[in-house]
Structure 1
Amino acid sequence: MAGLTSDIEKFLKALLEESTDGMLEIGRNDLAMQFDCAPSQINYVLSTRFTPHNGYLIESKRGGNGFIKIITIVEEDDYISYLIKNLNEQMTEASADILFMDLYKKKYFTRDEFLMAKYATSDKALSMIDAKSRNYLRSDIIKNILLSVLARS
């Protein structure tokens, strides 16, 4: 299985290198058929080899017309990369608000994006999560917001 996993990874990375925009969209079932494996094997490769930590974002849609979009994160922006690598494991609502205001002032966010991030990570929005876990979840959400900023640059 390790050989198949590596073969799928190499294949996808070769396609990414050939792309002009660092983005690849491919059918999950088509890829599974090409490698004569289950779609879950493709999911395994994506979840272990194409992670944000490894420099990739994954978008996918399941179902008959399901697809996988792999986006290479270009770390042109040292500030956002620094924030991602050094983001606290826990973030309070106040800390998140300060970070979002800074990103807005530095023009990484539009006003609407600033407000959306602020409200989406507020204690009110996360009220269904127990108080002990809320700051961990908020930090994860913020990390994904920052990754999306990198992906669009």
Structure 2
Amino acid sequence: MRNISDIIEEYLKDILDKEQAKTIEIKRSEIADQFQCVPSQINYVIKTRFTVEKGYIVESKRGGGGYIRIRRIQHRNEAQMIEEILKMIQPSVTQTAAAGIVERLLENKMITTREAKMIASVMDREVLAFPLPLRDEIRARIMSAMLITLMYKS
């Protein structure tokens, strides 16, 4: 059974997919009313599901005429996207950020579901049983190696 966060995320992504400019502007209170939830639930979804690692830029303006603008990051090609991710994860990357990147690669059809599960399994903190910050540095090195391989696949 899906929870309200999953439903709101899917709704916002559907709107983004329909927009030509790949940008949407929403009012938090209107979306909360539509899904009969508290506005903080919308904040939670946006903060956790629309991150830079997952390929989104979020801007907001508070107040009466306030809005939340969500924009999907566009790249000319896959190599450009991978290069951007490589810069983002150096010199270290958290497990949460790595999971977001894997989700982004999967959504962009750059990897299969099976590959996503394999990558996620080696990024896990239980597998990388080193103290912080070493664990995040090793995760970044492993992920970088995978991304470079992905960038040069035929």
**TM-score range with shorter-chain normalisation?**
0.5 to 0.7
Give the aligned partner of residue 63 of structure 1. 63
Report if the CA contact (8 A) 2:53-2:85 is conserved.
no
Structure-2 change in CA distance of 1:3 and 1:61 (3 Å):
same
Report if the CA contact (8 A) 1:75-1:81 is conserved.
no
The Cα shift of 1:89 comes to: 3.1
SS in 2 for 1:53: coil
Q: Is 2:13 the counterpart of 1:16?
A: no
CA offsets per residue over residues 61-95 of structure 1, 9 Å max, x none?
122222110000012253474144235338xxxxx
Higher relative contact order, structure no. (Cα contacts within 8 Å, ≥ 6 residues apart):
1
**Which segments of 5 or more consecutive residues in structure 2 lack a partner in the other structure?**
93-154
Give the aligned partner of residue 33 of structure 2. 33
Q: Aligned equivalents of 2:62 and 2:38: distance in 1?
A: 14
- TM-score w.r.t. the length of structure 2 is 0.52
Give the aligned partner of residue 44 of structure 2. 44
Report if the CA contact (8 A) 2:58-2:71 is conserved.
yes
**Which segments of 5 or more consecutive residues in structure 1 lack a partner in the other structure?**
91-153
CA offsets per residue over residues 18-43 of structure 1, 9 Å max, x none?
10110001111111111111111101
Q: Is 2:73 the counterpart of 1:82?
A: no
Give the aligned CA root-mean-square deviation in angstroms. Answer: 2.2
Report if the CA contact (8 A) 2:16-2:23 is conserved.
yes
- TM-score w.r.t. the length of structure 1 is 0.52
Give the aligned partner of residue 54 of structure 2. 54
Tell me the matched-pair count. 90
The residue type equivalent to 2:58 in the other structure is I
What pairs up with 1:99-118 in 2 under 5 angstroms?
A: none
Report if the CA contact (8 A) 1:29-1:66 is conserved.
no
Q: Aligned equivalents of 2:54 and 2:80: distance in 1?
A: 18
Percentage of pairs with the same residue: 40
Could you say which structure has the larger radius of gyration? 1
SS in 1 for 2:3: helix
